[in-house]
C-alpha cells in the first residue's frame, strides 16, 4: 500500500492552497487550546469550591428572611413567611433541609450573677435540633427543669468584649467563663413572671440569634405566650451544600429574601469566572467550527482539482476505499499532532496554575482533569469525522 500511496502522491496533489490549510491548522490549534482551557478552568474552579482540601464543612447553613424595606416598616405581618412561601423555599433543589425559626412570644430579661450588675432585655428563638451542632446531652430540656440551655451568637460575645466592656471598664469574658456563668433569666408575659437559670452551652456562627431548645420554646410559648403575638415564622434556616450556588442567589434576589451576604460572596466570583470560562469556550467552539469548515472546503478543493485523475484511478480499479484512506492519511496525523501539542500546552499551564495557587494555599491538581483529556479526544474525533464525511461524500460524488 505504501508504494501505491507514494504514486498517488504524484497524482493527487494535496499541496494546493497550503497557506489556507496552515491557517486552518493554526485555527484548530488555538480553538483546541481555548476549549481545553475552558474545560480545565471549570474543573479547577469546582475543585477549589468543593474539594475537601479547600473547605472544612461540606454543608452550610443560611438563615433566610425577607428584606426589610422602608415601605415595610411598622407592618410586621409583611415580614412573615406564608406557608406557601415556606413550601416554595423547601422545594428548591439546593435546599437539603430546612427549619423554621420560632421566636418567643414572651418577654425575657437576662441578668448576670453576682457583682457584674448586668441586665438586659432580650428574646429567644429556636430551630429544630438537627440544625444545632452542640452535643446532645447538653442541648435538651424537659418540662420541670429550671435550667435552660442557651446558644449565643459568637458576634454577641465579641461585641461585649471589644466594644461594650472596654468602654464601660468592665472585665472581658472568655467563652469558657461565659459557659461557667449561670445567667438569671426572667420570663414574663405581664401577668406571670418566673425566674430560670440560663446555661450557655455554646456559641454559633451559623445562626445569629439567642437559641433555646425547641422543646422549651414550645412549652414556654404555650405557657407564657402573650395574646396578640403571632406564632408565625419570619425566618427560616436552610442547609445547603453550596452557598455560592448562583441559582440560590438568584432565588433569594427574585423573592426579595436576604441572608448573611458573607456566605454568598463566592457566588459573585463564581458567576464571573463561569462567564469568562463560557466566553473562552464559546470562542473556542466558534473557532473550531470555522477550522472544520476550512478543512472541509480544502478537501473539496483537492478532490475537485483532481477530478479527472480520481476518475481515471477508479477506472483503473482503485477502490474508493483506497482513495479515502489515502486522503485521510494526508491530514489525520497533523490533527493528532495539533491535539497532542494543545494538550501539552494545557498541561504546562495547569502545572503553573498549581504552583501559583499553592502559594496562596489553594489546592488544584498539578495535572489536567480527565475531562480535559476527554475533551481533546472529542475534538479530534469530531475533526476526524468531519474529514471522513467530506472525503466520502466528494469521492463518491465524482463517480
Partner 1 sequence: MQIQLDQLLPVPLKDKILQRKSGIWNENIVFNPGSFVKIKAPSGTGKTTLVHYLYNIRNDYTGKVLVNGKPWSDYGRNEIALLRQQQISVIFQDLRLFEQLTALENIELKRVMTPQPYCTPERVQEMAARLNVTHVLRQSSKTLSYGERQRIAIIRALVQPFDWLLMDEPFSHLDEENTRRAAALIAEECSARKAGFILTDLDDDQHFDYNVLYQL
- Min dist CB 299 to partner 1, Å, is 19
C-alpha cell at 389: 464525511
- Rounded least distance, CB 308 to partner 1, Å: 10
The answer to whether the Cα torsion of 363, 368, 374, 380 is positive or negative is positive
- Comparing CB distances to partner 1, the nearer of 241 and 314 is 314
Q: Which is nearer to partner 1, 116 or 304 (CB)?
A: 304
Q: Which is nearer to partner 1, 197 or 397 (CB)?
A: 397
| Alpha-carbon distances, residue 85 vs 88, 194, 257 (angstroms) | 5, 36, 11
Least distance in angstroms from the C-beta of 3 to partner 1: 4
CB nearer to partner 1: pick between 7 and 59: 7
Total number of residues shown for the chain:
399
Q: Which is nearer to partner 1, 46 or 322 (CB)?
A: 322
User: Of the two residues 292 and 306, which places its CB atom closer to partner 1 in the complex?
Assistant: 306
Residue partners of 70: CB distance under 8 A and separation at least 6 = none
Q: Using alpha carbons, select from 209, 213, 259 the residue that is nearest to residue 238.
A: 259
Cβ proximity to partner 1: between 1 and 337 the closer is 1
Report whether 277 contacts 372 (CB < 8 A): no
The grid cell for 160 is 461585649
To partner 1, the closest distance from the beta carbon of 14 in angstroms equals 14
E-only strand ranges, 56-178 = 60-66, 97-103, 107-111, 119-122, 125-126, 147-153
CB of 323 to partner 1, least distance (A): 10
Beta bridge partners of 87: none
Parallel/antiparallel/unpaired status of strands 235-240 and 97-103: antiparallel
Q: How many CB atoms neighbour CB 6 within 10 A?
A: 9
Of 276 and 312, nearer to partner 1 (C-beta) is: 312
Measured from the CB of residue 7, what is the shortest distance to partner 1 in angstroms?
5
CB of 10 to partner 1, least distance (A): 6
What is the rounded CA–CA span in Å between residue 299 and residue 148? 82
Q: How far apart are CB 392 and partner 1 at their closest, in Å?
A: 11
CA distances from 370 to 45, 357, 365 (A): 15, 20, 11
Q: Could you report how far apart the first and last alpha carbons of the chain are, in Å? A: 22
| Minimum distance, C-beta of residue 302 to partner 1, in the bound complex (Å) | 15
Asked if 21 contacts 292 with a C-beta cutoff of 8 angstroms, the reply is no
Q: Shortest Cβ distance from residue 390 to partner 1 (Å)?
A: 17
Chain centroid to CA 289: how far? Answer: 30
Residue closer to partner 1 (CB basis): 199 or 392: 392
CA angle 170, 173, 174 (to 5 degrees): 165
- Pairing between β-strand 147-153 and β-strand 97-103 as defined by DSSP bridges: unpaired
User: Binding residues for partner 1, per CB under 8 A?
Assistant: 1, 3-4, 7, 10-11, 309, 312, 314-322, 396, 399
Residue 38 or residue 310: which is nearer to partner 1 going by CB?
310
| Grid cell listed for 218 | 414550645
Residue found under cell 493527487: 12
What is the Cα–Cα distance from 97 to 276, expressed in whole angstroms? 32
Amino acid at each position: 500500500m505504501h508504494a501505491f500511496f507514494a504514486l498517488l502522491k504524484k497524482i493527487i496533489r494535496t499541496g494546493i492552497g497550503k497557506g489556507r490549510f496552515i491557517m486552518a491548522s493554526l485555527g484548530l490549534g488555538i480553538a483546541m487550546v481555548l476549549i481545553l482551557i475552558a474545560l480545565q478552568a471549570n474543573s479547577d474552579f469546582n475543585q477549589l469550591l468543593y474539594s475537601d482540601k479547600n473547605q472544612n464543612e461540606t454543608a452550610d447553613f443560611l438563615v433566610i428572611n425577607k428584606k426589610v424595606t422602608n415601605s415595610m416598616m411598622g407592618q410586621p405581618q409583611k415580614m412573615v413567611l406564608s406557608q406557601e412561601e415556606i413550601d416554595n423555599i423547601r422545594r428548591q433543589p439546593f435546599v437539603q433541609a430546612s427549619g423554621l425559626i420560632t421566636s418567643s412570644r414572651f418577654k425575657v430579661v437576662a441578668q448576670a450573677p453576682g457583682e457584674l450588675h448586668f441586665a438586659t432585655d432580650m428574646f429567644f428563638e429556636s430551630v429544630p435540633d438537627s440544625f444545632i451542632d452542640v452535643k446532645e446531652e447538653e442541648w435538651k430540656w424537659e418540662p420541670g427543669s429550671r435550667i435552660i440551655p442557651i446558644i449565643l451568637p459568637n458576634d454577641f460575645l465579641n461585641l461585649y468584649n471589644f466594644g461594650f466592656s472596654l468602654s464601660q471598664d468592665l472585665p472581658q469574658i472568655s467563652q469558657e467563663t461565659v459557659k461557667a456563668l449561670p445567667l438569671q433569666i426572667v420570663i414574663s408575659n405581664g401577668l406571670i413572671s418566673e425566674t430560670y437559670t440560663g446555661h450557655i452551652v455554646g456559641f454559633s456562627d451559623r445562626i445569629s440569634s439567642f437559641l433555646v431548645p425547641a422543646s422549651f420554646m414550645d412549652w414556654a410559648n404555650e405557657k407564657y405566650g402573650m395574646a396578640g403575638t403571632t406564632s408565625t415564622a419570619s425566618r427560616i434556616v436552610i442547609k445547603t451544600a453550596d452557598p455560592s450556588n448562583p441559582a440560590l442567589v438568584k432565588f433569594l434576589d427574585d423573592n426579595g429574601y436576604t441572608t448573611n451576604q458573607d456566605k454568598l460572596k463566592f457566588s459573585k466570583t463564581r458567576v464571573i469566572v463561569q462567564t469568562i470560562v463560557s466566553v473562552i469556550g464559546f470562542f473556542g467552539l466558534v473557532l473550531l467550527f470555522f477550522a472544520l469548515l476550512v478543512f472541509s472546503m480544502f478537501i473539496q478543493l483537492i478532490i475537485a482539482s483532481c477530478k479527472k485523475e480520481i476518475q481515471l484511478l477508479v477506472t483503473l480499479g482503485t477502490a474508493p476505499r483506497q482513495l479515502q484512506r489515502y486522503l485521510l492519511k494526508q491530514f489525520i496525523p497533523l490533527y493528532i499532532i495539533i491535539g497532542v501539542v494543545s494538550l501539552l500546552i494545557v498541561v504546562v499551564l495547569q502545572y503553573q496554575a498549581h504552583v501559583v495557587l499553592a502559594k496562596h494555599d489553594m489546592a488544584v491538581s498539578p495535572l489536567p482533569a480527565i475531562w480535559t483529556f476527554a475533551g481533546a479526544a472529542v475534538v479530534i474525533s469530531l475533526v476526524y469525522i468531519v474529514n471522513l464525511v467530506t472525503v466520502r461524500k466528494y469521492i463518491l460524488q465524482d463517480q
